[in-house]
Each structure stands twice: as C-alpha cells, then as structure tokens.
Amino acid sequence: MCGIIGYIGKQNAIPLLINGLKKLEYRGYDSAGIAFLHAKKLEIRRCAGKIQVLESSIKNENLNSLIGIAHTRWATHGRPSEENAHPHQVNGIVVVHNGIIENYLDLKNKLKKKGHVFSSDTDTEVICHLISSYAEKGLDIKNATRQALKHLNGAYSLGIIAEKEPDKLIAVKNDSPLIVGLGNSEFFIASDVPAFLSHTKDVIILDNGEMAVITKKGVSISDINDKPLKKKTTTINWNPEMAEKNGYNHFMLKEIYEQPRAITDTIRGRFSLDQGNVNLEEFSIKKSALKKFKKIFLVACGTSWHAALVGKYMIESLAKISAEADIASEFRYRDPVIPKDSLVIVITQSGETADTLAAQREAKKHGAKVLSICNVIGSSSTREADSVFYTHSGPEIGVASTKAFTTQLVALYIFSIALAKEKGAIDSRRSKKLLNDLLFLPEKVENTFLLNDSIIKIAKKYFQVKDFLYLGRNLNYPIALEGALKLKEISYIHAEGYPAGEMKHGPIALIDNDMPVLVLVAKGKVRNKLLSNIEEVKARGGEVISIVEKKRYKSLSRSPNTIYIPAINQYLSTVLFSIPLQLLAYHIAVLRECDIDQPRNLAKSVTVE
Ligand code: AGP
C-alpha cells in the first residue's frame, strides 16, 4: 500500500520523480525516498514523514540525473523511519516495492546465515539481497532479478535500478498495480497513472508475472521465464488537471464539487429514453443472459461496501432478485455458498483492493460470473472480471471517497434497471421514468451544494463533540453508515451508523446532550417511522440534526438543525443524502485542523490484506 515511480529519459529525473510521488501520496505518506544516478554514482535520499520533507531536504543540492526511482510509504513491516524508508540498496542494486513479501522472514534468516547483513526491518530489503546475490554470480540486473523473483511469495510491484547498468530501469508486477508510461524517448513506471499523466497518456498495463526492461530506446516486456510478450498500448482519457486541486484547499472538497460532472460522465451513453433501454454494449455478459441469474452477491470493502448495501436494496426492490451484500474480507473466508447461476458484483474504486480481488477470485472459483463496478481503467479487478461497468468519476485522490461512491450508486441504479427490465420486473414505461429521473440528478446535486453555509453552521456547533450517531432506514441506512465513516476517517470523531429501527435495541442508551444524532429523513414508507425516531431522541435530551428530503414536515420546521435536500426517487435520494454528509465531515475536519486528504493511518488503496 505504497506508491512507486520510476523514470528513464532525457529530462532531469529528480523533479519528475518528486512531482510524480506527490500524485501518489494518497497511497501512503509516512516516509519517502528517491534513488538516482548522479555523475554515474548512485545517490539515495530518504526520510521519515511526507514527500515535502524529502523535497525540502534535497532542494538546495544541485542534482541531475536521467534515471531514478522513488517511493512513498505506508508502513507494513517496520515502523516509519529513515532506515525503513525505500529505496533499499545492496551493493549498488536499488529497489522500491509496493506490496508484501509473505515469506520474507524465512528468506531473511537464510540470507543472514549466508552472511548478509540487514539494515532495515522491511520485507523489501530481502529482495535487494537476493538480486545482489545473483548479480555477484555474474548475472546482469535483468537475469539476477528473474532468479530472485523465484524465491518470493506475496504481492509486489517493483522498480529497480543498478549502479553498474545505468541505462536500465526494471519493472516487475505481481498482484500490486504497475503501469508503464510511454513518452517520447522517455518512459515512466508508476503505481497509478496520475503520477505521470502530465507527461503521457499512453500506457502499458503490466499483468501479474510480467517484467519490463526499459531503456531510453524503448520497453521490452517478458514473463518471468524470459518469454517475450506483446502488450497493447492503452490511452487514458483523463486530463492532467483532473489530478490537480484547481484552487480548492483539498482534493476531497474538489472531488465533492466534481460530482455533477462525474455523474454526467458515468451516465453518458448508458441508456435510451425511447424504449427505456439500458445500453450494456461493452458487457461480455449478454443482456439476455441477465435473466438467468437467480442470485446476486455484491462484494466490496469500506465505502464501496456501503454502495454494495445500497445495490442490494436497489436490485431486490427493482429486479426482484435475491441479493446479498458482503464485506470482501468476510466473503473470502466464510465459505460462501455461491450457486452457479449467480452473478457476483464487485465494487471497487481502485480495482486493486486486496480483499476485494481475493473475493472476486473466490467467486470465479465457484463458477459465478463477475461484474466489476470500477473507476480505474485497466486495474486488476477490471482485467479479471467477465464484464466491467466503469464509473467515469476521474482520478480520486482524497483518501476519503466521495465522487467514486456516488458514481457507484449511479452505476448500481442503472444496472438494477437493466436487470429489472430483462427479468420483466418492470415495464418500459417504468424504466423510462426511472432513467429520466437520472437526467435531473446532476442538477439536483448542484442544488444540494447550496446547503454548504447551513452545513458549516452545524459543523461549527458540533466540531468538538466526541461521538456522533447517524441514523437512516431502508436505502438510506447504508448512507448513514457512509456518513459516519466519512466523519471517522477525516475528523477522528467516533461515529456510528445505525438502521434507525435498531436504535431502541441498544444505541438509545448512549443518547445524552453530548452526542448529536443525525437522522436522514427520506420520503416514502419509512418517513413517519423516522419522525418517531427523532422524537425518541429528543425525549432523552439528545441533539438532533435532520437532513430531510424536501417537503416541509411540520414537526421539523422550527429546528435550526434541519437541512432540506431536493426530492427525487427513493433510489437516487441516496446520492443526494450523501452530499451534505460529505460536506459536514469535511467542514468538521477543517475546524479540527485535521489532515483531510491524508488522514492518519490510512491509505487510498488497501493493496495488502
Ligand atoms: C473510503 O473513504 C475509504 N477510504 C475506504 O473505505 C475505501 O472505500 C475502501 O478501502 C475500498 O476501496 P476500493 O473502492 O478502492 O476497493
């Protein structure tokens, strides 16, 4: 769960690598480092702390290099410190690594017995020692790396350079993402495209077990047995500006405000209102085959799991197919019963979450078809799935997911309509109406932004509390969970999401005037129940914040803590309820002076178990 980048070409590698690292900082930010060849001599700079610290430490040195690798770390083995920061080096062979070497202790002990001396607590250092031991036997860096790889178990993407072969950059990928960027006589490797997006949009996406040997002249790719491979070039249709803050104080805020655009891009070309048909043209699962699915599993982690829960409600309510939402880390180990006529929908922003990928593989093992709802083109989940529904939200840099979540909800809504139509659970008239509602969604999201000032007032009132309770029902119960997760992640306030009907089965005991209770009051069949829940909280001296789908309910109109959001159908209300919760978490975190885009202990893509 780190970010790696490498460069070889005609420009000074050092600023390119530092700027690239900044785009990867969302993947980990407890220490950073860079290695390059300066006047043919290997130089390494590392430090604990953020990339800024590394940048400041080298800014007064007049360094120049045409090749280098760099790393931003999220510690797994060994505390964040200079000695544990990457790159690691043994005898002029330097490695940056993202992933975990599961058998590193065993390897380390064997190497120690042979006289190798270790200078860090990391799993990565064993890779350097292994490569170096083969290099000592006379192998070049490519073949020494190939031999070393045979000893490694686990997940790794690697960037390697060697002092003795200053014109070669080696990249290896196994279960952690690695992309090669193809410029004009210059090449990049990185964990994610934004790292080099301002230099090239043409990429080769490496698959597991592949190695790239890159010189200034070009890229050659082979498997671990040195069999040459032909790989296709993919052009990424993201703009470099998409990965910048564009005047916003934080990526999270920018990404909240990007939601109308992200939703528009996700729905573009997806349906025709003439017949109320959804367009799933790029799906390899044929639309006509959708009706054969008897059971749907939705599997994901974190925020994406909250989208999965909403998806369950949408699918059962619209398509009348039994659906289960599972946390990927549970699904992969709980021996799930997955009948052959099941569809497993994995939901993942990054497409690289280790538990989600493992669950996806488990589903395939059972013979189920897999649909990936994913934001990152060419990520592992998309490559392994039978079909992909891309959420075109653009790069999401803030660790707290916002636009990726609401576009997942939109993707699930569209897919549920397609499923319902094919199953005959809804007719064309109904699907036209449901799809038509989508066209109004981006504008209604814009209208929800007008609530920002009221939300700031509420944030100012409550930013110092220790606990928060979020209540919702039905489709908006997962939105309560998501609101609580957003607050926890970025403001470090303890927050719990609960189905409102469960309140009296336990959490009601917590209520006092120190704990605000935020209630999502949607229209429809559970409205009155939610109003009763509000009364129950008030009767116990609790402070209520209500987010109410428009239409003024008498009993709420006098409360200073009430926010009205635009009305829309019950499925899409999940998107509109999400916006004030994102803004509330954001403003509370700002007032608490938290590090919003890089919350403590977190990383954007959890590529380790
Ligand atoms: C969201 O705010 C989180 N940072 C986190 O829960 C995230 O949603 C989770 O790690 C899953 O990531 P994915 O969607 O990339 O698989």
The rounded distance, in Å, linking the Cα atoms of 531 and 328 is 34
Instruction: For residue 604, report the distance from its CA to the centre of ligand 1, in Å.
Output: 7
Query: What is the reported pLDDT for 180?
Result: 97
**Phi and psi torsions of 602, nearest 5°:** -105, 165
Q: How far is CA 297 from the centre of its chain?
A: 20
The rounded distance, in Å, linking the Cα atoms of 228 and 226 is 6
Ligand 1 closest atom vs CA 408:
14
Query: What is the reported pLDDT for 388?
Result: 94
Of 465, 525, 531, 524, residue with least CA distance to 492:
465
- For 350, 400, 590, 599, the CA distances from 251, given in Å and listed in that order, are 16, 9, 13, 12
The label of the residue with tokens 């009348």 reads: 320
Instruction: For residue 301, report the distance from its CA to the centre of ligand 1, in Å.
Output: 6
Determine how many CB atoms are found less than 10 A away from the CB of residue 496: 18
Q: How does pLDDT run across 34-87, given as a tens digit for each residue?
A: 999 988 899 999 999 889 999 999 888 888 999 999 999 887 777 888 888 999
The rounded distance, in Å, linking the Cα atoms of 70 and 121 is 19
Partners of 371 in the β-ladder: 345, 387
- The 3-state DSSP class for residue 271 equals strand
Query: What is the reported pLDDT for 533?
Result: 87
Of 465, 417, 455, 473, residue with least CA distance to 579:
455
Query: What is the reported pLDDT for 551?
Result: 63
Q: Is the CB of 573 under 6 A from ligand 1?
A: no
Ligand 1 closest atom vs CA 302:
6
Instruction: For residue 119, report the distance from its CA to the centre of ligand 1, in Å.
Output: 33
Query: What is the reported pLDDT for 556?
Result: 45
- Dihedral angle sign, alpha carbons of residues 414, 420, 424, 426: negative
Ligand 1 closest atom vs CA 605:
15
Q: Hey, which bits of 509-552 come out as E strands?
A: 516-521, 543-549
Q: Is the CB of 125 under 6 A from ligand 1?
A: no
Partners of 154 in the β-ladder: 101
Given 201, 312, 444, 604, which residue is catalytic? 604
Ligand 1 closest atom vs CA 303:
8
Q: Can you read off the two tokens belonging to residue 259? A: 């939601």
Query: What is the reported pLDDT for 524?
Result: 86
Angle at 382 between CA 608 and CA 87, to 5 degrees: 40
- Cβ proximity of 205 and 234 under 8 Å: yes
Partners of 36 in the β-ladder: 43, 68
Q: Is the CB of 349 under 6 A from ligand 1?
A: yes
Q: Is the CB of 489 under 6 A from ligand 1?
A: yes
**Phi and psi torsions of 406, nearest 5°:** -70, -30
Q: Is the CB of 408 under 6 A from ligand 1?
A: no
Give the closest residue (by CA) to ligand 1 atom 5. Answer: 302
Instruction: For residue 495, report the distance from its CA to the centre of ligand 1, in Å.
Output: 17
Q: Is the CB of 401 under 6 A from ligand 1?
A: yes
Cα torsion 117, 118, 124, 129 to 10°: value is -10
The rounded distance, in Å, linking the Cα atoms of 562 and 519 is 10
Q: Is the CB of 350 under 6 A from ligand 1?
A: yes
Q: Can you read off the two tokens belonging to residue 493? A: 């306030």
Give the predicted TM-score (pTM) of the model.
0.79
Give the closest residue (by CA) to ligand 1 atom 6. Answer: 302
Return the best residue to mutate from 349, 405, 608 for the ligand 1 pocket (most ligand atoms within 8 A of CB): 349
Q: How does pLDDT run across 589-607, given as a tens digit for each residue?
A: 999 999 998 888 777 777 7
- Cβ proximity of 347 and 307 under 8 Å: yes
**Phi and psi torsions of 411, nearest 5°:** -60, -40
Q: Is 457 one of the catalytic residues?
A: no
Query: What is the reported pLDDT for 5?
Result: 97
- The 3-state DSSP class for residue 36 equals strand
Q: Is 47 one of the catalytic residues?
A: no
> Which residues, including other chains, have CB under 8 Å from residue 173's CB and lie 6 or more apart?
156, 157, 158, 206, 207, 208, 209, 210, 211
Ligand 1 closest atom vs CA 400:
2
Q: Can you read off the two tokens belonging to residue 74? A: 């999220």
Instruction: For residue 252, report the distance from its CA to the centre of ligand 1, in Å.
Output: 14
Q: Is the CB of 303 under 6 A from ligand 1?
A: yes
- Cβ proximity of 73 and 28 under 8 Å: yes
Q: Which regions in the chain score pLDDT beneath 50?
A: 553, 556-557
Q: How does pLDDT run across 134-188, given as a tens digit for each residue?
A: 999 999 999 999 999 999 998 899 999 999 999 999 999 998 889 999 999 999 9
- Cβ proximity of 17 and 26 under 8 Å: no
The rounded distance, in Å, linking the Cα atoms of 275 and 418 is 12
- The 3-state DSSP class for residue 338 equals coil
Ligand 1 closest atom vs CA 353:
16
Q: Is the CB of 356 under 6 A from ligand 1?
A: yes
Instruction: For residue 414, report the distance from its CA to the centre of ligand 1, in Å.
Output: 21
Instruction: For residue 78, report the distance from its CA to the centre of ligand 1, in Å.
Output: 24
Measured distance between the N- and C-terminal CA atoms of the chain, rounded to whole angstroms: 10
